[in-house]
Amino acid sequence: MASTTVRADAPGVRGAEDKPGSTGGLGTPRSERAQGEREFKFTLADFDKVRKLIYDHAGISLAPAKQDMVYSRLARRLRACGDATFADYLKRLEHDRGEWENFANSLTTNLTSFFREPHHFEVLAEELKNHKGARPIKIWCAASSTGEEPYTLAITACEAFRTMDPPVRIMASDIDTNVLRQAEEGVFRQDRIDRMDPERVRRFFLKGSGAQGGYVKIRPELARLVSFRQVNLLDSSYPIQGPVDYIFCRNVMIYFDKPTQYAVLKRFAPLLKPDGLLFAGHSESFLHAADLFKSRGRTVYELTNATRR
C-alpha cells in the first residue's frame, strides 16, 4: 500500500491439482475437502462479506482466488477473539470498532525492501540536487510499510545534499498500525541490508551486539527526517499538510480497481506542487487518469497541467 498504503497479497500460482473444482485425483473437490478440514466454518457468503468490508474500508479488491488467504489470516483473529465461526466474527465487527484495526491489518500485505526499484531514487536524487524551490522539501511516502522505503528516501536525501541534515522532511504513512510501529522503531534484521554498499551501511545504520546481534538500527540523525502516521487512502481527505514536492505511492494502486485509483489520484493532485512528481510502482499505469497525471517515463508522473522548474 505500501503499506496505504493499502495492499492484498499478489496473485498466487496454483498447480493443476489446486484449481477450483479440481479433484486433484481424489473423489472430493478441493473446496469441499478444505472446508471439512478447517477449524472454523467459512462460507462463500462469509468470504463475500469480507471482500465487501475490506473494499469499502480500504479499497482493496480481493479476487475470488483469495478465499484461502483470507481464511488463513482471519482465523488468527477468530482465535484471539474467541469466536466460534466467521459469522460470529463478522457480527463482532458491527460493534467492536477496535477490532476493525486488527481486521484491516490482517488483510494488508507489506512486501518492501531498501532501494526497491532503484531507478526511482536515482531520479529523486537528481531532482533534489537541482531543486530551486522553497525548503524544506516535502516528501510523502504514502505506503511506508515497515519503513524501508521512507528510510531509503532519507538516505537518498542525505547523499544528494552530502549531509546528515538535508533540507528535507519525509511524511510516511500506512493504513496498517502494526507496521507503522515497527517502522518507527527503525530496527531491521541484518539480512535486510546484506546487498547494500558497506559504506552506506556504516554511515546510516548502527549494528546490534549481544542480544541484538543480527539486527541493525537506523541512526538517530536519519530517523529525525521521517515522521510516521496512519492514513487510509480511501478517506475523503488526508492529514497531510501540502503542498508537497514528491509523493511516493508505489505498488499499492494495483490492489485498487480503476474507480478507486482515480479517486485517490484526484486527492493526490491538489496536494502536489505544480512541478511536483508522483512515483508509482513498476506495474502501475494511470492512463485512465490522464486528466490528472501524465507520465514522464519509468513510472514517474507529473500533473497534467504541470509547470516544471
CB burial readout 99-119, b (16+ within 10 A) else e: beebbbbbbbbbebebbbbee
Q: Which residue in the list 51, 77, 83, 174 is annotated as catalytic? A: 174
Q: How far is CA 78 from CA 8, 68, 71, 102, 222, in A?
A: 19, 15, 10, 11, 39
Return the SS3 of 216: strand
Longest dimension (CA), the chain: 70
Instruction: Judge whether 73 counts as a catalytic residue.
Output: yes
- Nearest alpha-carbon partner for 299 in 156, 113, 124: 124
Instruction: Judge whether 83 counts as a catalytic residue.
Output: no
Q: Which residue in the list 7, 30, 73, 169 is annotated as catalytic? A: 73
Q: Which three cell numbers stand for residue 288?
A: 485512465
Amino acid identity at 15: G
- Nearest alpha-carbon partner for 300 in 275, 280, 272, 274: 280
Question: Catalytic site residues?
Answer: 73, 174
